Structure 1
């Protein structure tokens, strides 16, 4: 059930709300800026398909992407604004039994988790879930490229595949925070897109959807449905 397709008398009472959280940021020389938003939106769409009582909100396409500022076209609202927007968005959703935030952008993690802590302290039924992936393949590498080949293959510039920095994120994180993505990977890739496939992308989306369904079930148990 999509909120964008409803008028208010059609909503019903005490449903769960799923909100996709994304970003507009560079994804290497071969992927579009909207990868994170597209992934979060697709996962919420699949969740709503399997759990029709869940209402899927329009996605929030901007997030905290300051680490990608070294590349043209990246649009970021920063951590403070992201935290504030998420906090006020969930506060406005008290007519719902609970809110599930689906964030497909790693840069959103800190501000969104801060918002969720505050909201839960205030007594609201809210969770955040993010897709997982290998530590050395965190941005525009094999996994995200495979998912985009499954979702929107025409957006993937296969002739521009380039390996980036494949060092696991824990070893990169201090430099990444100090220098941004451009400082650790001149082409903007953290991973290697070579060998990516739609088959891997479809399997990944199925796995992520199963994990998301488990979180939604927990959220529903805590709400009144």
Structure 2
């Protein structure tokens, strides 16, 4: 029988004897949704996985990175062809059963979330699973001061992570109003009602160098969050 791998383990490419005992399991949660005319549908999933991998490389002990959950709650992008949204109910069921299954061998489960539309459900699942007695948490992939969607932040990240997937010649400004100003209309009518090209921000000036720095900041934020002794404020189910 093979010995468990040291450091972090990529679950998808491992075999069962290589899975360490009671590891921390990071589950990247993303989406398959439009990201303007210049970024691919898997942008959120790519970022979530990169952050989870960066965290796994940083933390001590045995860490497993699970396969990315690539479908999320993306109904606000449904007016753009290509978007696949499974909605909050299906996402809830998927995440609940993921935790219950992982709890058979994992020590702790943490969702590393790369899509804002998943947050309500992720928080709800964490609260419910804690009530069942599972050791579960979540952390967002956020950049303080970053723009909302397909702008400078995500374009820079993708230029660093997947430059071949970026159609930089098609990058153009989108809606740059503060999110709190456009959120009511976007909630009622979707992203296309506030931004015909699907961009919330301005990707102009994005670069791989900025993306490398943004990723490091995101990874550091998740590491610091997981190092705190106090649990996140998820005891109230929305």
Contact 2:143–2:214 (CA<8 Å) still a contact in 1? no
Q: Please tell me whether residue 86 in structure 1 is matched to residue 60 in structure 2.
A: no
Match for residue 197 of structure 1? 207
For 1:133 and 1:187, how far apart are their aligned partners in 2? 23
- Structure (1 or 2) with the greater helix fraction: 1
Shift of 1:136: 7.3
Match for residue 16 of structure 1? 24
Residues paired across the two proteins, number: 220
What does the per-residue CA deviation read over 1:117-172, in whole Å, with 9 as the maximum and x for residues that have no partner? Answer: 11111121111111224667200001000100111112111111111111111111
Shift of 1:50: 2.4
For 2:143 and 2:190, how far apart are their aligned partners in 1? 20
For 1:25 and 1:10, how far apart are their aligned partners in 2? 34
Q: Please tell me whether residue 43 in structure 1 is matched to residue 51 in structure 2.
A: yes
The two structures have a TM-score, normalised by structure 2, of 0.88
Describe the shift of the 1:180–1:58 C-alpha distance in structure 2 as closer, same or farther (beyond 3 A): same
Contact 1:136–1:168 (CA<8 Å) still a contact in 2? no
For 2:24 and 2:84, how far apart are their aligned partners in 1? 30
Runs of at least 5 residues in structure 1 that lack an aligned partner in the other structure: none
Matches within 5 A, 1:161-200: 161-200=171-210
Contact 1:136–1:167 (CA<8 Å) still a contact in 2? no
Runs of at least 5 residues in structure 2 that lack an aligned partner in the other structure: 1-8, 232-238
Q: Please tell me whether residue 61 in structure 1 is matched to residue 70 in structure 2.
A: yes
Residue from 32, 46, 50 that aligns with 2:40: 32
For 2:195 and 2:89, how far apart are their aligned partners in 1? 26
Shift of 1:49: 2.1
The two structures have a TM-score, normalised by structure 1, of 0.93
Q: Which runs of 4+ in 1 moved over 6 A?
A: none
Residue from 4, 10, 13 that aligns with 1:5: 13
For 1:143 and 1:62, how far apart are their aligned partners in 2? 21
